[in-house]
Each structure stands twice: as C-alpha cells, then as structure tokens.
Amino acid sequence: MPRTDQPAEFKNLLLATLPHHALSALRPHLKLVTLARGAVLSDADDSMRQVRFVESGVVSLVTEHLTPVVVATVGREGAVGGPTLLLGGGINFGRYEMLMSGSALALEATRFHDALRENPSFHSLCEAYSQTFFAQVLQNLACRKSHTAEQRCARWLLMCEDQIEHETFDLAQDSLAAMLGVPQVVADAVAAKLYRAGLIRLRARLVRIMDRRKLEGAACACYGTLRDHYERFQARACASGGEVDPDLPLLRC
C-alpha cells in the first residue's frame, strides 16, 4: 500500500517506468515534498545528497553569474540531481530552484544508486534522460547567442506550458528575465509585444497562452529541436514498460 503522504500513482516519468516490484521496494524511501515558487532545492557547488523526482511544477537550473540565467528546466519527465549523480561527480554546477510551485518525491542518493544498480532498465532510462537534459542545456546556451529575445520568450513559454501541462501558469517577471538572460525592462517589453499580438495574456503574474499555433510560429527552431528530444525520450520510457500512462501527455504535438 502507498504511504498516505504519497500519490497513489506517480506522475513522474522515471518512477512510472519502474516495474511494480521495484517501485514497491522504493516507495518506503520516497518522501513527498511540496515546493513553493522560489524554493531552492540545491545551490551551486553543493553536494547532491538527494534526487527529487518532479511530480508537478517546474524547476529551473540557474547559473551563478552576476545576472542569473536559466539554462534548463525540469518537469515531471525528470529528476533534479539524477544526471549529476549518474555521472559520478555529485557536485552541482548551478542552482536548482522552483520556477513554478509543485511537488517532488525525494530519494536519498544512496537509494538512487541502489535503484540504478538493481534495475538496468531504470539505469538506461536515467542515462537517456541525462542526455536529453544536457541537450537542453546546450541548446539553450546556443539559443541565447543565436535567436532574438522575442523568439526565445515564445520558446520558453511553450516549454513551460508543456512541462506544467496547463495553458495558464504563474510566472514571475524576474523569472522571465532570467530565462531570457536580459534586463527586466527588456523582458517586460518582449512579453508586452507578444501580448499585443494576441499570443499571450498577462494578468498579474499569470501567463495564459491564447494562440499556441501563432506562438509556435513566433518561437525559434530550438523549440522543435528540443521537443523532438523529449518525444524520443518519452517514447523510450513508454516502451520500457513499468506503469507509464501513455495517455498522459508530456509534450504536446
């Protein structure tokens, strides 16, 4: 029986791929944590002592420069700390903080290593996720140098919608500036331009995507590239068995 502080079914894609017996063995060690927007999961140069399997919300990986820049986001497809521990370093190279509030299942690093060792398919899928995660980091860095702030804003908003799985989400103004790597005044102007074009609606901190097709047209090609990566990863997860619900979309097509 699941613990009362755990969901009956996991939304996290990595956990959902575990065979039933493996998931049952892991359940007593998973701790459900609620995470408010802005909560810091792990700081740069910290040792990664836990893996957080994201159940809902979005986590951002932020560089520790004078101007914070978001280089990657993690939704329910992934696990904060998983790629770091898998590679054997165990030390963060950035700060993980909640971009949008949500929840995660925390697992001690030693138990994560046990699960990797005992379940080759889980190990293989975590490797595939790590590749997808680092592909996102590289694509985001290249995107920042190659595409306009407006294109990148459209791309980030689409990715947020994909990861939060809702067309309306709470996004602080300073978060958008960090995602774009531009001053606040520039981020505000870019968002206002998308608003005037009827692509999004802004109310307080709430962003609502009004015309997804047009927003995709306004986004740079990086969105399609990253979506392809994640769709291949999702297909691999579904093919690996476990308890994945194929009807629960991770990324929209």
Nearest distance, CB of residue 184 and Zn ion, angstroms: 21
136-150 burial code (b ≥16 CB/10 A, e <16): beebbeebbeebebb
Identify which of residues 41 and 149 has a Cβ nearer to Zn ion in the complex. 149
If one asks whether residue 220 binds Zn ion (CB under 5 A), the answer comes out as yes
Nearest distance, CB of residue 199 and Zn ion, angstroms: 17
**With CB under 5 A, what is the number of residues at the site for Zn ion?**
4
Q: Strands 31-35 and 40-42, how do they pair? A: unpaired
Cα dihedral value 156, 157, 158, 164, nearest 10: 110
CA distance 20 to 162: 27
Identify which of residues 47 and 146 has a Cβ nearer to Zn ion in the complex. 146
- Roughly what angle, to the nearest 10 degrees, separates helices 184-196 and 173-180? 100
Phi, psi values for residue 11, rounded to 5°: -85, -20
Judge whether 83 and 133 are in contact, CB under 8 Å.
Answer: yes
Unique residue bearing structure tokens 């531009």? 182
Nearest distance, CB of residue 225 and Zn ion, angstroms: 8
Identify which of residues 76 and 152 has a Cβ nearer to Zn ion in the complex. 152
Unique residue bearing structure tokens 């009004």? 210
Nearest distance, CB of residue 220 and Zn ion, angstroms: 3
Nearest distance, CB of residue 194 and Zn ion, angstroms: 15
If one asks whether residue 147 binds Zn ion (CB under 5 A), the answer comes out as yes
Tell me which of 26, 41, 207, 222 binds Zn ion, using CB under 5 A. Answer: 222
Residues 12 to 31: which contact Zn ion by CB under 5 A?
none
Tell me which of 69, 143, 187, 194 binds Zn ion, using CB under 5 A. Answer: 143
Nearest distance, CB of residue 187 and Zn ion, angstroms: 16
Name the one range near Zn ion by CB under 5 A: 39-47, 83-91, 125-133, 215-223. 215-223
Identify which of residues 42 and 136 has a Cβ nearer to Zn ion in the complex. 136
CA distance 23 to 52: 15
Q: Which residues bind Zn ion (CB under 5 A)?
A: 143, 147, 220, 222
